[in-house]
Chains A and B, each alone.
Chain A
Amino acid sequence: MSRASARFDTKKVNSELVTLTYGALVAQMVKDLDSTEDVNKQLERIGYNMGIRIVEDYLAKTGTGRCLDLKDTADKIQSAFRMYLGVQPNVVNWSPGGDEFSFLLDSNPLTDLVELPEDLKNLKYCNIICGVIRGALEMVQLDVQCWIIQDILKGDANTEIRVKFIRKLEDAIPAGEE
């Protein structure tokens, strides 16, 4: 009968699984930690830990080489968004100096099924994405700052993530060598 053939759309299930697991994690953090500020920091840190591992997966799957410039970096992060989150953000709002840009997401799968209660208005629910970007770029020797400017959860029309290039990290000299 119908049950035997009731196969699920596994892609959709997987997305919901990630969204719900992340939601449960955030809820646990809100319970564990005293201030929302601490939760934001922890989320960023968790993202950072994920980023330094995701970048290896990304490089292995795409076979991509070093970034030529920041525009190239932005394009590659854009394709990483597509690979991992299944969304294609627009790269917009380049600063005149060319060292700052934004990703504009018109939908954010992490926040599906999510509503923020009044008392958590300071919570940066998607801070994990900022952490992932920072962690991943650090592994390819780019030091960046990353923060959220607009957030769909807070009533904005889009989610906007700002990235600012700080400096290029140099190869460290192995210990004991000049």
Chain B
Amino acid sequence: MSMSDDLFEFLHSEVINYSIQRNEIKKKESKDDDLSNIEFIGFSTGFKVIERLTKEMPRFKDELDTMKFICTDFWSAIYKKQIDNLRTNHQGVYVLQDNAFRFLIKISNGKQYLEYAPRYVAFTCGVIRGGLANLGINCLVTAEVQNMPSCKFHIQVQRM
């Protein structure tokens, strides 16, 4: 027996609630939400999850191979589907597009509530960053939502 899938969604929205409320207490006078806490919770989760997922697997060939793993196996394990489109400029920038992102699909189909979309993708940005960090790739992950429930994640690999 195992935990229900929906439980993760309930928990995810409470992570957001908690972080947003903390910001209000701290009285941040900026217009945009401070999503760094949500991102960090995602980061720690991704960092640990990937370790458990990949422990029996052979080493990845290269960066692209790692990204492909994120888009297929990793994504379907967490988000129940694969990434719909992966693009790269072969210089360390990757764009992952999910046309029916799990955390947005129940919120809206179009532009309604678009202003709240960043809250619902911050956790996942952290998960990707954390996962890649544990595989030895340091990067910046940002998300772009133009039309729910579709979402694009931009990964910029930081080279030393």
Assess whether A7 is in contact with B73, with CB atoms less than 8 Å apart.
yes
Does A85 lie at the interface of the complex (its beta carbon under 8 Å from any beta carbon of B)? Answer: yes
Knowing A2-B58, A27-B44 are in contact, say whether A15-B2 is a contact too (CB < 8 A): yes
Given contacts A6-B73, A13-B77, A28-B40, contact A21 B53 (CB under 8 A): no
Check B2 against A12 for contact (C-beta < 8 Å): yes
Interface size on B, residues (CB 8 A): 36
Question: Known interface pairs A10-B77, A14-B8, A28-B41. Does A86 touch B15 (Cβ–Cβ under 8 Å)?
Answer: no
Do A49 and B17 contact each other (CB < 8 Å), given the known contacts A8-B73, A21-B41, A27-B44? yes
Task: Count residues of A near B (Cβ-Cβ below 8 Å).
Answer: 39
Is B119 positioned at the interface, with any CB of A under 8 Å from its CB? no
Residue of A nearest to B76 (CB): A10
Nearest CB of chain B from residue A153's CB, rounded to whole Å = 18
Chain B residues within an 8 Å CB radius of A168: none
Partner of B8, one of A2, A18, A88: A18
**A9 CA / B44 CA spacing, docked (Å):** 21
B45 at the interface (CB under 8 A from A): yes
Contact between A6 and B11, CB atoms less than 8 A apart: no
CB proximity to B under 8 Å, residues A17-42: 17-18, 20-25, 27-29, 32, 42
Contact across chains for A17 and B41 when beta carbons are under 8 A apart: no
Chain B 1-43, CB within 8 Å of chain A: the 1/0 string?
1111111101110110111001000000000000001001110
Kindly specify which of A50-58, A69-77, A96-104 makes contact with the partner chain.
A50-58
Chain B residue numbers with a CB within 8 Å of A57 are 6
B64 at interface, CB cutoff 8 A: no
8 tightest CB-CB pairs across the interface, nearest first? Answer: A86-B1, A24-B44, A11-B2, A13-B77, A86-B2, A24-B41, A15-B3, A15-B2
27 A-B pairs with CB atoms under 8 Å apart are A6-B73, A10-B76, A10-B77, A14-B2, A15-B2, A15-B3, A16-B49, A17-B8, A17-B49, A17-B78, A18-B8, A20-B44, A20-B48, A23-B44, A25-B15, A28-B37, A28-B40, A32-B22, A42-B18, A53-B10, A82-B1, A84-B3, A85-B3, A86-B1, A86-B3, A87-B1, A109-B3
